[in-house]
Every structure is written in C-alpha cells, then in structure tokens.
C-alpha cells in the first residue's frame, strides 16, 4: 500500500519530533532511553539520514562512557597502590629516624662523658699546680692508691686549703689542655649538621606527601627544628625541596593515570594549589616527567575552553591526534588561573560559556591584558551563525572564528595556519 504525500510528510514530521526527544535525552546523558526513541523513529522513517547520525553518536558516547569507567577504576587501583607505598615509605622513614636519633643520643652521651673526663683532668692539673707539683705522673698515684692515712694529720688538711686558691692564680700549665676540645669540634659538628639536615628533610617529605601540613605536624616540625638546631633559612630551603619532590611524585601519578586532557588539567591545577608550587617549579617538574615518559617537548601547547563536555572531548581527541599537547577546561575561570603563569602557543575558546563567570568575549579581553599573552593566537568557536557576532569577535582582534559544527580537518588546518603565521611574525 502506498502512502499519500500528506501521510508521508506527517510520518517524517513525527520522526523528526522523536529525533528532538532523542537529542534531548543524549544531552541529558540518558543514552539507553535515547536509543529506544531512536529505534521508534527508525521504524517510522527508515530512510531518514539523521537517524543513522544519531545512532553513531550514541554508540560513540557509550564507548566513551565505558572507557571513562575503566579509567576511573584503574585510577582508583593506582591511588590505592600509591597510598600503600607512601605508608610503607613513612614507616621505613620513621624507623630510620628513630635509629638515627638513638645513635645521635648515644654519640652525644659519649661526647659529654669525654668532656667531663677532660674537665676532671684539668681540675687535677690545677690542684697539682697549686700544690707546686711540676711532674704530673707521680701526682695521681697518691690519690688513686690513697696512702694518705700514714701521713700526719696536718697533711690531709693541706689539699682542703689548697682547693680555694686554684681559680685565683691560674698557672701557665692550664692553657695547653683547653684548645684540645675545640680542635675536634668542627668535623663532628659538620657531620652532625649534615645528619640533622637529612633527617629533617625526610620528615618534611612525609609531612608534604599528602600536600598539606596540619597544625599538629607544624608544631612537631617546630620542635624538631629546635632539637636539631635547624635555622629558618635552612628550613625554608629544605621545605622548598621537599614540596617540589612531593609534587613531582603526585604529578607523575596523575600523568600516568589514563585521565583525559580535561580531567588531567583540572587535577594538576588543584595539585599546584595544594602543594603551593610556583610556575617555575611546575615547569621543571612537567619537563622532567614528559621527558621521562617519552613525550616530545617541542609539541605546540593549546588551551581549549568549552562548557559542552562532548564538544570539548571531540576537540581534544582531534588535536591530540594532530600532534598537539592539549590543556582542556570547562570554564574560562579555570583557564584564567593557569594562564596567569603559563604561556600556550594558541587558545581556542567557545563564546557562549554558560557555566563560567566570564563570557567568551570578556575572557578574550582578559587574556589580552596579560602581557605575556598579548600576541598569542586566539580562535573563537560558536554554535550561533550570526554575522554580527562574527564581526564583533574579529573586531576585538581574534585571529579566527569557527562556526559549529566543523570538521576535525578544518580545525587542524585553521590552527596550523595560525601557528605558522605567528611563528613567521615572531621571526621577522
């Protein structure tokens, strides 16, 4: 039975209405529900090309969701392993610290005992000198063997009377023994200082392992600084080293976790704030990790800002596949924080950023106000085909304006062209 033109049009309109429902369900993340509606539309109008486009989109989104779920599971396992390793390292460091402290205490006791013995010998020298005995060897014999009782009673009283004058007339023999103690001090003190620095840094690494020092840990560190005689300048330097090493460890875990570019950028931004890492320290750590894991350092770096998860994910895949290092953001607010100290080779931003406090055009103006970004290429994206909007964006000074939807080839060609021209302008 053949359908009349009017009936055919009604079927197509009904199918298109269902496709709108499908589109809304996809945007809301209800992929199974979207597929059910799509099957219904397909039965009504099997020749509708949009149905097959939606079908591919749903399949792709389901695949991405599965990948993301796997990545989250893997990341959880890696974090558990990292925590277990950190706990083991902490226990080992604590055991080593206790051993070192015991050794230090023992060493200090031995040194103190030697000092007391030297002081005792010095007092004996003073007594002998006061008694007028110039030959040291015979002097100790009477006191050790104690043949004093055979001497008349007056003799024991003479040392008692002699004990008071020694401090008053210090004789010449007193001077030679004194330098002996200070001469041995520098090497011992230098070794102890190095051991103290090493011990203190280990404790700092444990304190900064989770990126935050609690008030209790700060109090313990102050006490430890006092006992180890760590100066304020030494503490500042050792803490900087410990923070950077701890941040490098956390950065490596994030980089190897399998996160996508957007998630990775967000987590690294949080880590930088958590560890109070400067932009210079971050650049050193990033360069070291990228080199270690074989990422080419000469890849152009791109910043991409779009509040639509699907569009952002698509752009990131295209650009990373095209040989670029990508930092992805859902809001211009997050991007501006990173751009205060970072300098990408090019910026791509959507105009309509509903989840940001700063819209696309205002974001562009704020970027241009940063001196180090005043000439970095900037490309606008928009889903609105509005000639006035295009003119306004280009009038601000943007390098280009792409209207959604666009192909991956067009995006790559546009970016490569802008980078090539920017490089030529810099070389002239």
Contacts of 92 (CB under 8 A, 6+ apart): none
178 alpha-carbon distance from chain centroid: 52
Question: Which range, of 32-41, 87-96, 206-215, averages the lowest pLDDT?
Answer: 206-215
Whole-angstrom distance, CA of residue 209 vs CA of residue 204: 8
Residue 167 above 80 pLDDT?
no
Q: Read off the pLDDT of residues 390-423 as tens digits, 9 standing for 90 and up.
A: 778 878 888 888 888 888 899 999 999 999 988 8
CB under 8 A, 24+ apart: contacts of 75-81: 75/257, 75/258, 75/259, 78/253, 78/256, 78/257, 79/253
* pTM tops 0.75: no
Q: What is the band of 148 on the pLDDT scale with cuts at 50, 70, 90?
A: very low
Do residues 78 and 253 touch, judged by C-beta distance below 8 A?
yes
CB contact burial 169-208 (16+ within 10 A = b; e otherwise) = eeeeeeeeeeeeeeeeeeeeeeebeeebeebbbbbbbbbb
Beta bridge partners of residue 91, listed in sequence order: none
Q: Read off the pLDDT of residues 302-319 as tens digits, 9 standing for 90 and up.
A: 999 998 888 898 999 999
Whole-angstrom distance, CA of residue 378 vs CA of residue 366: 12
What pLDDT score does 271 carry? Answer: 82
What pLDDT score does 119 carry? Answer: 66
Contacts of 197 (CB under 8 A, 6+ apart): 230, 234, 238
Q: What is the band of 158 on the pLDDT scale with cuts at 50, 70, 90?
A: very low
Answer whether the bond into residue 397 is a cis peptide, omega within 30°.
no
Residue 153 is classified by DSSP as T
Hey, what are 79's tokens?
């974090």
What pLDDT score does 294 carry? Answer: 57
Do residues 26 and 58 touch, judged by C-beta distance below 8 A?
yes
Three-state DSSP state, 106? helix
Q: Read off the pLDDT of residues 333-391 as tens digits, 9 standing for 90 and up.
A: 999 998 988 889 999 999 988 888 998 999 999 999 999 998 999 999 988 766 777 77
Rounded to an integer, the average pLDDT of 112-126 is: 71
Residue 172 is classified by DSSP as G
Three-state DSSP state, 340? coil
Phi, psi for residue 381 in degrees, rounded to 5: -120, 145
Contacts of 363 (CB under 8 A, 6+ apart): 305, 332, 335, 336, 349, 353, 356
Q: Where are the beta strands (DSSP E) in 138-264?
A: none
Of 265, 216, 258, 236, nearest to 77 by C-alpha is: 258
Question: Which range, of 95-99, 198-202, 204-208, 210-214, averages the lowest pLDDT?
Answer: 210-214
Whole-angstrom distance, CA of residue 335 vs CA of residue 272: 14
Higher pLDDT pick, 80 / 365:
365
């Amino acid at each position: 039975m053949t359908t009349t033109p009017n009936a055919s049009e009604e079927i197509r309109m009904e199918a298109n209405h269902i496709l709108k429902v499908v589109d809304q369900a996809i945007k809301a993340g209800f992929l199974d529900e979207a597929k059910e509606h799509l099957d219904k539309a397909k039965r009504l109008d099997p020749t509708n090309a949009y149905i097959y486009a939606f079908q591919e989109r749903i399949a792709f989104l389901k695949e991405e969701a599965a990948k993301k779920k796997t990545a989250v599971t893997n990341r959880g396992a890696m974090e558990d392993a990292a925590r277990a390793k950190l706990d083991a390292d902490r226990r080992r460091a604590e055991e080593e610290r206790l051993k070192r402290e015991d050794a230090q205490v023992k060493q200090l006791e031995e040194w103190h005992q030697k000092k007391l013995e030297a002081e005792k010998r010095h007092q004996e020298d003073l007594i002998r000198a006061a008694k007028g005995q110039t030959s040291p060897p015979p002097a100790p014999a009477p006191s050790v063997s104690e043949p004093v009782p055979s001497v008349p009673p007056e003799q024991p009283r003479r040392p008692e009377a002699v004990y008071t004058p020694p401090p008053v007339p210090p004789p010449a023999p007193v001077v030679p023994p004194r330098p002996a103690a200070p001469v041995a001090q520098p090497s011992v003190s230098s070794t102890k200082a190095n051991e103290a620095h090493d011990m203190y840094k280990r404790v700092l690494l444990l304190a900064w392992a989770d990126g935050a020092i609690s008030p209790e840990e700060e109090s313990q560190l102050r006490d430890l600084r006092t006992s180890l005689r760590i100066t304020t300048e030494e503490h500042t330097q050792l803490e900087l080293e410990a923070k950077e090493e701890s941040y490098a460890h956390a950065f490596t875990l994030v980089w190897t976790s399998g996160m996508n570019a957007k998630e990775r950028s967000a987590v690294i931004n949080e880590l930088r704030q958590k560890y109070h890492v400067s932009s210079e320290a971050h650049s050193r750590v990033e360069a070291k990790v990228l080199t270690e894991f074989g990422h080419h350092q000469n890849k152009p770096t791109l910043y991409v800002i779009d509040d639509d998860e699907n569009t952002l994910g698509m752009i990131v895949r295209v650009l990373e596949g095209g040989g670029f290092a990508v930092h992805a953001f859902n809001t211009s607010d997050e991007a501006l924080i990173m751009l205060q100290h970072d300098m990408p080779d090019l910026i791509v931003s959507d105009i309509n950023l509903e989840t940001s406090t700063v819209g696309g055009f205002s974001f562009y103006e704020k970027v241009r106000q940063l001196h180090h970004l005043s000439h970095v290429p900037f490309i606008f994206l928009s889903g609105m085909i509005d000639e006035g909007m295009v003119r306004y964006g280009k009038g601000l000074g943007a390098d280009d304006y792409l209207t959604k939807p666009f192909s991956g080839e067009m995006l790559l060609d546009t970016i490569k062209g802008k980078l090539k021209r920017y490089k030529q302008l810099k070389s002239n």
